Structure 1
Amino acid sequence: MPQDSADSAEMRCPGKMENIIVLGSEQSYDLFWLKMMFLSPGFGLAQGSLSVPHWTHADRTTVLYVAEGYSRSELLALENLRSIGVHLEAFRSARALTTYINTREIDGERYDILRLLFICHGLPGVLDLNYEGGAFIKLNHGTMTAIDPNSFCAHARIYSYACRTGNSKWRESFSSLAQAEPENSLAQRMATHCGVPFHAFYTRTLFAECIRDPSDSDSISAAVARLRVGNEGSILTLSDEHEALPHAGQGTANRYVFFENGQVDEGTSEYSLWRKQGGRAMPVADNTPKGLPGVFAVFTP
């Protein structure tokens, strides 16, 4: 059943523990401001500069990610996590993802999952880890059953920062939460299947402030336009906080014409914004669909 808050009591697992952060690809917006919207908060959480409700330290931190659609410089930014001991591993299918979740073995050593967190695109009933990409990489009511509940500590938690994981209905307006049938949502199904609490939004998720303060947008775009002259295709240091990472073709052939024209005109096309310290904030609940609580709800087994 969904709740608005979680039990604050935390207990340690008897053996070694692992926190797993799963990052999807971003191939939908094709946008300077949003390309790194999954990698940036994931980076911050993995390095410890960001946190989420009831997050706690584990013996090992692993970041699993979909590489499709990212440029070399974008992935190299994520690779910096290796220097602080984070295990990074790319995956190309839902089966590869669930296999890692079920085995969690590196160099012959196996860990129990303490925290499992997803940052990716989502739709009602689906965590779409490669939305609008080539490979089909989805966790839904069917594929999630491949996850072995015995992979988790007794006091583990799962989190989704994808859109509408706690909502099972394709509607844009609700008169009550009951109309969204959260009891049939992917969040509830996974909580029940895995036997651990699942944190999720009923609404879409807002990533606008994860990488930059929106009030800085004009100065950031002006810096990109200025610094790229004579340095096209190179990483641009915009400030102590931000870099622009090259991504050939991005923002030049987008079906969202208002994005495409805006990027070319403002000088940000073919680059992606990156915050060198990782995300400045975790995503939050948006205000759509209308009529649903903007809370990070907890679904219990």
Structure 2
Amino acid sequence: MADNWELIGKSSTSPRSNTNRAVVSTRVPKTENIIFIGSEYNYDSFWLKNMFIAAAYPFVKDRAKFRICDKVTIAYIDYGYSNAEKLAIENLKNEISSEVKEVKAIKNHSDMINIFKNDRSAYKIQDVAIFSHGLNGKITLNYNKKPDINLLKSDITNISSNSFMLTGKLYSYACRTGMSDAFSLRLTDTFRSIAEAKPDDSLAQSIADHFDIEVHAFYVRSFYGDIIRQKSKKVNNIPISQIITNSLVTKKELIPNSSIINLYDGATEALRPFEALKHRGLAESGFNILGIKSGAVGEGTNGYSLWRKTGGRALPVGATDIDGLPRSMQVFNKK
């Protein structure tokens, strides 16, 4: 039989007749970015009702944080938001350029976990941002209400460790994700060192370790008070909050049944970005009787929530009510 092999160089041989070689290819997975928006019951406030929704806007506009991807999922807790407020969530899609854009309503804990688990053979998670309340050791997406929709360490281990891209990142804008859930720390507001917060035992570190990704989180409480309007701002020496309130009170009388009130009065430029969204039952505390005013009813902001047409003016920052720990977001990597 004739030799069917020929020498190539001095170290390898190849069949002379084999012209159809197998082609080795690597399929690059598509990428998915996820935004979680928690409910807001804690403050019952015209000023703060939409703080989690608004905070998502500057995040998706920041291409360093919210990188280009093939699919975007906007997942919100479907409790406590009016139709007008849900429209603000839906409109977040308009700020995003992506092949697939989905808005999903979360009704329970399983819905939330399934957002992480969904279709990971087709899409790997790239960037996640969570805008929500939080406590030591847990992200409380439906804080102060039932059902409990919390993200815990035990949930993380039930999600495939291969769910994220190798370059994946998660940003938690909830309170204290970077601090241990040790009982002794839950009411502690003064620390002598970072080590006292036990960050290695935190939810942030657990997420980083399990998925081998970069996690950005606060040791301290997060502050959302300036997301929609800057509280300290004044126009002609009048606080912006008072200007907004005066416009709302006037327009509520003129168009009492409007689901969305444009607060711009045609003259005050500081009002141009703002709207009031109808929300029956919101901030109905206090009274206004014979000129004696108290609470949100006395203020005139009851029954509506404040919205900024272009979303939040800034991302949340660390609060100042905890001493001895950095206020900035900290980065956690796999240990």
Verify: 1:172 aligned to 2:189, yes or no: yes
Shift of 1:261: 3.3
Distance 1:166 1:81 in 2: 27
Do the aligned partners of residues 104 and 280 (structure 1) sit closer, same or farther apart at CA in structure 2, a change above 3 Å counting? farther
Do the aligned partners of residues 29 and 52 (structure 1) sit closer, same or farther apart at CA in structure 2, a change above 3 Å counting? farther
Paired AA for residue 99 in structure 1: N
Q: 1:156 aligns with which of 162, 168, 181?
A: 168
Verify: 1:245 aligned to 2:277, yes or no: yes
Shift of 1:167: 1.1
Paired AA for residue 229 in structure 1: E
Question: Which segments of structure 1 move beyond 4 Å, counting only runs of 4 or more?
Answer: 82-85
Structure 2 residue aligned with 1:65: 76
Distance 1:155 1:101 in 2: 16
Do the aligned partners of residues 38 and 165 (structure 1) sit closer, same or farther apart at CA in structure 2, a change above 3 Å counting? same
Distance 2:332 2:48 in 1: 29
Distance 1:202 1:267 in 2: 36
Verify: 1:15 aligned to 2:29, yes or no: yes
Paired AA for residue 262 in structure 2: T
Distance 2:147 2:105 in 1: 13
Structure 2 residue aligned with 1:221: 245
Verify: 1:87 aligned to 2:102, yes or no: yes
Shift of 1:82: 4.3
Shift of 1:52: 7.7
Distance 1:62 1:92 in 2: 15
- Tell whether the 8 Å contact from 1:161 to 1:200 is kept in structure 2 after alignment: yes
SS of corresponding position for 2:254: coil
Shift of 1:54: 4.1
- Tell whether the 8 Å contact from 2:65 to 2:127 is kept in structure 1 after alignment: no
Q: 2:40 aligns with which of 2, 26, 29?
A: 26
Shift of 1:44: 3.8
SS of corresponding position for 2:253: coil
Paired AA for residue 102 in structure 2: H
Structure 1 residue aligned with 2:306: 273
State the identity as a percent. Answer: 38
Verify: 1:232 aligned to 2:256, yes or no: yes
Distance 2:93 2:208 in 1: 31
Shift of 1:71: 1.0
Distance 1:297 1:82 in 2: 28
Cα offsets for 1:153-178 (capped at 9, x unmatched) = 01100110001110112112111111
Distance 1:90 1:185 in 2: 28
Shift of 1:233: 3.7
Structure 1 window deviating more from structure 2 (140-149 vs 70-79): it is 140-149
Shift of 1:266: 1.7
Distance 2:248 2:138 in 1: 36
Question: How many residue pairs were aligned?
Answer: 278
Distance 1:41 1:248 in 2: 23
Structure 2 residue aligned with 1:294: 327
Structure 2 residue aligned with 1:8: none
Cα offsets for 1:22-71 (capped at 9, x unmatched) = 1100011010010000001113434x2xx286442212221100010111
Distance 1:298 1:52 in 2: 18
Gaps of 5+ in 1: 1-12, 255-259
Higher RCO by CA contacts (8 Å cutoff, separation 6 or greater): 1
Distance 1:143 1:14 in 2: 27
Structure 1 residue aligned with 2:112: 97
- Tell whether the 8 Å contact from 2:33 to 2:66 is kept in structure 1 after alignment: no
Do the aligned partners of residues 118 and 56 (structure 1) sit closer, same or farther apart at CA in structure 2, a change above 3 Å counting? same
SS of corresponding position for 1:143: helix
Q: 2:296 aligns with which of 250, 258, 263?
A: 263
Paired AA for residue 251 in structure 1: A
- Tell whether the 8 Å contact from 1:103 to 1:110 is kept in structure 2 after alignment: no
Shift of 1:253: 4.2
Distance 1:172 1:28 in 2: 20
Distance 1:99 1:198 in 2: 20
- Tell whether the 8 Å contact from 2:285 to 2:297 is kept in structure 1 after alignment: no
| TM-score scaled by length of structure 1 | 0.87
| TM-score scaled by length of structure 2 | 0.78
